[in-house]
Structures are given as structure tokens and as C-alpha cells.
Amino acid sequence: MEYLVVRFGAPTVRRGVLVNGNPFGQTNTLIPIDAGTHTITLVPPPDFSPPTQTVVIADTSELAPFTVTFT
């Protein structure tokens, strides 16, 4: 099991996260995820950049998750 945090807005902001096109948790929270290549984006409205990020997630822990940031 690997771990992902998707950053967007203030730390208290919650926005839906899509992983490989499927709902997969909320921004600014710890998300358990399988290792591998994943395409990450946020639910609409499309007021963030970049539109998607494709990342390889491996060798993470709860204390050191892979972090993706949208602005």
C-alpha cells in the first residue's frame, strides 16, 4: 500500500480527487493507493492547473506520502 496527498487551496479546502478517472478521496487528506502509474486530477469546476498530472507512486509511507500539487 502506498500513500498520496493531493494539495489544492488552503489546508482546510476539500475537493474531490479523481485517480485514473475514478473518484478517489479528497484534497489535503491522506489517500491510500496502489503503487504504479496514475493520472491525477480534480473534480470540476476546472479552476486549477495543470489539468492533470501523471505520476509514478512507489516507496511511500503514511509519514512520507507522494504529494501532488494543483494551483
pLDDT interval class at 43 (50, 70, 90)? very high
pLDDT-derived band at 26 (thresholds 50, 70, 90) equals very high
Looking at residue 40, its pLDDT comes to: 98
Average pLDDT in the chain: 97
- Percent of the chain exceeding pLDDT 90 equals 99
Least Cα distance to 6 among 36, 59, 38, 45 occurs for 38
CB contact at 8 A, 70 and 8: yes
Segment 21-43 mean pLDDT: 98
- pLDDT at residue 17 in the model: 98
